[in-house]
A and B are shown apart, each in its own frame.
Chain A
């Protein structure tokens, strides 16, 4: 059974507006969460992360929010730019420290 879920396969947003990508997880032992971005024909690249002891981490236009009680995290991109169009993967680190569990990805399209 999937431990990390991204229920929206795709999202379209107008340039300049906010993009919100969501991720749900089932294992309360996950202690570290990451977002990866993937362009076609390239490998996933690390974008931003958050420890389970925090509820928010910000890096420029990207902010990740963690709601542990709801087992939910989200990635906010503001303002969205056409270059942000990519597939975004949510990932969580298991309690053994050497396993990362990934979601199925959300394809973001930012419309100019």
Chain B
């Protein structure tokens, strides 16, 4: 596999469920990101990780919990979500968390919260 891979591509969950989104990058990058794309809204940055350390957390509710066990993998743990959390969740990576020129995105995980 090459690039940035996200699984699952589609997820439907109830408000009381616990699930996780997974992202894996095969580019040798050392920064990884979670973005949220809601309908008719711009992409919103959620989290930035550099070398497995979180360097940015954009006031995201605690029901979203990121985890970065190594520079190639990024998870987004989900629990007690709300219907308004339904969105496309995009993972991205870059060569550096500071002064990065380009983000490489995965195909996204489409989340529906019932």
Distance from B69 Cβ to chain A, minimum over Cβ atoms (Å): 20
Closest residue to B43 on the A side, CB-wise?
A: A102
A-contacting 9-mer, from B60-68, B78-86, B95-103? B95-103
B-contacting 9-mer, from A13-21, A43-51, A69-77, A78-86? A43-51
B90:A43 contact, CB within 8 angstroms: yes
- Total of A-B residue pairs, C-beta within 8 Å: 57
Selected contact of A41 from candidates B4, B35, B101, B107, CB within 8 Å = B107
Q: Which residues of B contact A96 (CB under 8 A)?
A: 98
Closest residue to A34 on the B side, CB-wise?
A: B102
Selected contact of A45 from candidates B42, B98, B105, B108, CB within 8 Å = B105
Cβ-based interface call for B12 (8 A) = no
Interface residues of A in 82-103 (CB under 8 A from B): 89, 91, 93, 96-103
